[in-house]
Amino acid sequence: MPRKNTRTAAGAGSIRQRPDGRWEARITVGNDPGTGKPIRRSIYGSTQAAVRKQMNAIIREIDNGTYQTPNKITVSQWMEEWITAFCANRVKPTTIASYRAVIKNHVNPAIGAMEIQAVRGTHIQRIYNTMTAAGLTGKTVKNAGAVLHKAFSVALKQGLIAANPCDAAELPKVIQKPIKPLTDEEIPRFLAAIDEHPFRNGYGLCLFAGLREGECLGLSWDSVDFENRRITVGQQLQKSKTESGRYYIATSTKNGKTRVIAPPEIAFDYLRDERRRQAENKLRAGKAWSNPENLCFTTETGRYILPEIFRRAYKKIMAGIGRPDARVHDLRHTCATVAIASGSDIKSVQDLMGHATASFTLNVYAHTSERMKEDTASRVQGYYDNLRKA
């Protein structure tokens, strides 16, 4: 004879009046997966109608599959658990440091003490609004929103919450700042201005190879193939986000992917000149020379060049040619803009820049692609004009 199932079905409940006069509703909300014993929850109220209403609401949640067993886990407790258990060994240390900064500066002060099950979209929205009111950019707020969404998504998978509250909040619109590449008139003036500068070759490589500042200052000679005219971009000089704030060579690029680029010959001319310059510095420095990472761009004693000094010198140079607002990153934009205007296809420019998608490249350099569209339209119009003449 089959054994009788003695488990109480989830959603079953009963109401009774306690000796102290209060009413109690007892509901079976599920069964312990380990022991099979029913898990019960009690609700108390001053009237039978009040506890029946609460009991029926919970039964509906159980039937709909949205019921969550109450827990006392706070947002700050969960954030720490998420970082240590779900991000460790899967996310780069620099990324984890950025997560912790968002949690420390924006999440914990606002909702850290709240129980995670109590968080709603309005609470998340207030965080976004506070950040925006403080003058932070839409991109910064969006990045913070991404951290929150990831953390609450894992909490949802773990059964700690019934829904992700971030889905009920609206991020501010990210306004893309217009890029300011060097113009055709400014490029020769810039090259003339850097001709005798100690950082000439570094600036030249950023311009003609489209490297980011950190990629340029972190480039090693092992990554330069003069014979085949290829450069492997797979590391960068980066500042630690810890309290030490020290610089180190990170063995990854901004998007975490190594790329092999084939810049024009002029980029290798700058590298050859830098190799000659570095050999002279090494000879002069003697025992004081130290370049353990075999970096291409170093000080006179082989140490890495501080990005702040690299930027400050660039600003001074650009102010001298009438562009005090220029940034080192504009050299990279100039490289991409020139490549597109010269007829390079978007996929090739994407690979050169190391962008995640071609659509991102198109969005960033839309002004240049629009010019190409106009040129194409003019060529097509000329073709048909010639047909009509014939």
Q: Which long-range contacts (CB under 8 A, 24 or more apart) does 116-120 make?
A: 116/71, 116/73, 116/74, 116/75, 116/77, 116/78, 116/155, 116/160, 116/161, 117/68, 117/70, 117/71, 117/73, 117/160, 117/161, 117/162, 119/75, 119/152, 119/161, 119/165, 120/165, 120/168
Only one residue has tokens 């962008």, namely 355
For the chain, list residues with pLDDT below 70.
Answer: 1-12, 30-34, 69-70, 242-244, 255, 366-381, 383-384, 387, 390
Angle at the Cα of 261 from the Cα atoms of 255 and 265, rounded to 5 degrees: 145
CATH code for the domain defined by 75-168: 1.10.150.130
295 secondary structure, DSSP code: B
| pLDDT score of 2 | 45
Q: What is the rounded CA–CA span in Å between residue 288 and residue 300?
A: 9
State which fold the 186-372 domain adopts: hpI Integrase; Chain A (1.10.443)
Residues near 338 by beta carbon (within 8 Å), at least 6 away in sequence: 181
Q: How many residues does the chain have?
A: 390
pLDDT tens-digit series, residues 355-380: 777 777 777 776 655 555 555 556 56
| pLDDT score of 8 | 44
Q: What is the rounded CA–CA span in Å between residue 275 and residue 227?
A: 15
Between the CA of residue 351 and those of 37, 219, 315, what are the distances in Å?
Answer: 58, 18, 28
Q: What interhelical angle do 200-209 and 329-341 show, nearest 10?
A: 40
Between the CA of residue 254 and those of 236, 326, 335, what are the distances in Å?
Answer: 8, 21, 18
Domain ranges of the chain: 13-64, 75-168, 186-372
Q: Given this chain, do its domains 75-168 and 186-372 carry the same CATH topology?
A: no
| pLDDT score of 374 | 59
| pLDDT score of 177 | 75
